[in-house]
Chains A and B, each alone.
Chain A
Amino acid sequence: MDDNDQAILRITQDGIPLDKEPFKVIANQIGLTEEEVIARLKRLKSTGVIKRLGISVNQRKVGIVANAVVAWKVPEQLVERIGNILSSYKEVTHCYERVVIPGKWEHNLFTVVHGYNRESVERFAKRMSDVIGIKDYIIMFSNEQFKRTSVKHPL
């Protein structure tokens, strides 16, 4: 990655301008041609530095109003297998293993589950429980969103 790549990533992770020719706007900002900006974005996408170039949607506006962290207590030797199973489901947007604090917090596998309503999220968790054979899980619905932004990578 050279300085121009970094400049392109710095601008585009903040937002691609709402313009009919958005890449020309970016090109003008950093003194490259539009073709070069597009070519570099294509390359950064194919190498995987850019995971996705697209919109993020406010899912609440399209009716996806239920969101819960479902935390599972999974034996260490099963985490790899069960993490991969849970990740394969469309309803799961995030799946992480986290540290445990013995005696205080022992649910080590975290999933974020979205749905149109609470019942669908609860049903999904029950179904997952049956699939993975883990009965010990906690559903924590979010009932208020105080902050939601994105990580800005230093470039």
Chain B
Amino acid sequence: MVEEVIEELKPKLRLKLDSKDKELLQLMQDAFPLESHPYAVLANKLGLTEDEVFAKVKRLYAEGVIRKLRTILDAQKLGTCSSTLIAMKVPEDKMKHVVGIVNEYMSVTHNYRREHDYNLWFTVTACGDKNLRATVEEIKRRAGIPDSDVLDLPTTRVFKIDVRFKFTDTDTDTDTDTGEEGVLQVADSG
């Protein structure tokens, strides 16, 4: 019940972003200019000055809206990493302990509690000469979860990885259920 209330309140706690903020996020997500003065190029598109855009960007970083500006590399082209998805049934009184162990590993990039009998789901990615199998076995052993309560689900085919969102033509200021239009829009896969 408490969780439901928190879930309902969450959208109301979100930051207010103006339309220029959203346009800026969209541009910086999809196509950061490869130019000497990238913020001046963005400023030109937004009708702002370079200083204004740079100040906005610093604010969006400080507020935690922007996690990072970086290059996303094509794992298949580099061909150096292998990964798997592990699910575990973790008793509630052991959850904190197990999460602590799992999160220690650099190879674990994502770790979530999910609403299912298998309540802990995390990805293990091993790159270069790191051994994926050995890492998975070590985590399982240290976590003390029996094999009968563990799923080890390596990927056999990748159809899509594209974590981009659409900020500009959805009304993110709307707090109430917005019906079908409220469904998230994510930019097309490129």
Interface residues of A (CB under 8 A from B): 9, 12-16, 18, 20-24, 34, 38, 41-42, 44-45, 48-65, 68-69, 79, 83-84, 86-88, 90-99, 101, 104-105, 110, 114-120, 123-124, 138, 140-155
Contact = CB atoms under 8 A, between A and B. Distances in A.
Interface in B72-93: 72-75, 77-78, 80-81, 83, 85, 87
B10 A123 contact: no
Nearest to A8: B71
Contacts of A152: 106, 127
A14 B34 CA distance: 17
Contacts of A119: 177
Interface residues of B, number: 92
A92 B153 CA distance: 20
Q: Is the interface of A mostly helix, strand, loop or mixed?
A: mixed
A84 B159 contact: yes
A55 B64 contact: no
B36 A21 contact: yes
Contacts of A97: 155-157, 159
Contacts of A79: 157
Contacts of B14: 60-63, 65
13 contacts: A12-B71, A20-B37, A52-B72, A53-B34, A57-B167, A61-B15, A68-B114, A90-B186, A94-B162, A116-B183, A140-B121, A146-B102, A149-B110
B71 A52 contact: yes
Given A52-B72, A56-B67, A151 B125 contact: yes
Nearest to B67: A56
Q: Give the 7 A-B residue pairs with the shortest CB-CB distance, closest first.
A: A87-B160, A144-B113, A90-B186, A95-B159, A147-B111, A97-B157, A154-B128
